[in-house]
Chain A
Amino acid sequence: MAHRVGMEVSIAVSHAVQMARAEAIAAYPITPQTHIVEHLSSMVANGELEAEFLNVESEHSAMSACIGMSASGARTYTATSSQGLALMYEILFIASAMRFPIVMTVANRALSGPLNIWNDHGDIMAARDIGWIQIFVENGQESYDHTIMAFKIAENHKVLLPTIINMDGFILTHVVEAQEFLEQKQVDKFLPPYHPRFTMDPKRPMTMGAFAMPEMYTEVKYAHQVALTNSYEHILKVWKEYGDLSGRYYHPVERYKTEGAKVLLLIMGSLGEVAEVAVDELREAGEPVGLLKPRLWRPFPFEDLRAAVNGAELVIVCDRALSLGGAAGPVLAEMRSALYPLAEKPAVLGYTVGLGGRDIQPSTFKDIIRLAREELAQGPSQEFHIFGVRG
Chain B
Amino acid sequence: MSKPMDQYTWQEIEIGGVLTEPGNAREYNTGDWRSQHPVWTKSRCIKCGVCWTVCPEAGISEEPGGYFDMNMYCKGCGICAKECVTGCIAMVPEEE
Q: Which of A99, A205, A210, A216 touches B15 (beta carbons < 8 Å)?
A: A99
CB distance from A5 to the nearest CB of B (A): 38
A212 beta carbon closer than 8 Å to chain B: yes
A136 beta carbon closer than 8 Å to chain B: no
**Cβ–Cβ contact B20 & A98, under 8 A:** no
Which residue in chain A gives the minimum CB-CB distance to B9?
A: A219
**Cβ–Cβ contact A197 & B5, under 8 A:** no
**Cβ–Cβ contact A216 & B19, under 8 A:** no
CB distance from A63 to the nearest CB of B (A): 16
Q: Which of B4, B5, B8, B16 touches A208 (beta carbons < 8 Å)?
A: B16
Q: Which of B8, B11, B13, B18 touches A206 (beta carbons < 8 Å)?
A: B18
**Cβ–Cβ contact B15 & A160, under 8 A:** yes
CB distance from A92 to the nearest CB of B (A): 15
Which residue in chain B gives the minimum CB-CB distance to A218?
A: B10
User: Which of A220-228, A273-281, A324-332, A357-365 lies on the face that meets chain B?
Assistant: A220-228
Q: Which residues 219-269 of A have a CB within 8 angstroms of B? A: 219-220, 222-223, 226-227
B6 beta carbon closer than 8 Å to chain A: yes
- Provide the residues of chain B in CB contact with A160, threshold 8 Å: 15-16
Q: How many chain B residues touch the partner (CB < 8 A)?
A: 18
**Cβ–Cβ contact B19 & A210, under 8 A:** yes
- Provide the residues of chain A in CB contact with B13, threshold 8 Å: 216, 219-220, 223
A130 beta carbon closer than 8 Å to chain B: no
A207 to B8, CA, bound (A): 18
B64 beta carbon closer than 8 Å to chain A: no
- Provide the residues of chain B in CB contact with A206, threshold 8 Å: 18-22
CB distance from B26 to the nearest CB of A (A): 12
**Cβ–Cβ contact B10 & A223, under 8 A:** yes
Contact with B along A55-96 (1 / 0, CB 8 A): 000000000000000000000000000000000000000000
CB distance from A182 to the nearest CB of B (A): 30
A215 beta carbon closer than 8 Å to chain B: yes
- Provide the residues of chain B in CB contact with A172, threshold 8 Å: none
B17 beta carbon closer than 8 Å to chain A: yes
**Cβ–Cβ contact A216 & B8, under 8 A:** yes
Q: Which of B10, B22, B23 touches A222 (beta carbons < 8 Å)?
A: B10
CB distance from B11 to the nearest CB of A (A): 8
**Cβ–Cβ contact B19 & A207, under 8 A:** yes
A198 to B8, CA, bound (A): 21
- Provide the residues of chain A in CB contact with B20, threshold 8 Å: 198, 206
A98 to B13, CA, bound (A): 12
**Cβ–Cβ contact A219 & B15, under 8 A:** no
**Cβ–Cβ contact B6 & A208, under 8 A:** no
**Cβ–Cβ contact A210 & B17, under 8 A:** yes
A348 beta carbon closer than 8 Å to chain B: no
- Provide the residues of chain A in CB contact with B17, threshold 8 Å: 97-98, 209-210, 212, 220
Q: A100-B16, A198-B16, A208-B16 are in contact. Are A216 and B22 (CB under 8 A)?
A: no
Q: A206-B20, A206-B22 are in contact. Are A215 and B6 (CB under 8 A)?
A: yes
**Cβ–Cβ contact A207 & B18, under 8 A:** yes
A213 beta carbon closer than 8 Å to chain B: yes
- Provide the residues of chain B in CB contact with A226, threshold 8 Å: 10
CB distance from B6 to the nearest CB of A (A): 4
Contact with A along B1-41 (1 / 0, CB 8 A): 00011101111010111111111100000000000000000
A216 to B7, CA, bound (A): 9
- Provide the residues of chain A in CB contact with B21, threshold 8 Å: 206
CB distance from B34 to the nearest CB of A (A): 17
Top 8 closest pairs, chain A to chain B, by CB: A99-B16, A207-B19, A215-B6, A205-B22, A219-B10, A215-B5, A222-B10, A98-B16
Residues of B within 8 A of A (CB): 4-6, 8-11, 13, 15-24
Q: A99-B16, A208-B16, A222-B10 are in contact. List 18 more A-B contacts (CB 8 A).
A: A97-B16, A97-B17, A98-B18, A99-B15, A198-B15, A205-B22, A205-B23, A206-B20, A206-B22, A207-B19, A210-B18, A215-B6, A216-B5, A216-B6, A216-B13, A220-B10, A226-B10, A227-B15
A-B contacts, 21 of them at CB < 8 A, read A97-B17, A98-B17, A98-B18, A99-B16, A100-B16, A198-B16, A205-B22, A206-B20, A206-B21, A206-B22, A207-B18, A207-B24, A208-B16, A209-B17, A210-B17, A215-B5, A215-B6, A220-B10, A222-B10, A226-B10, A227-B15
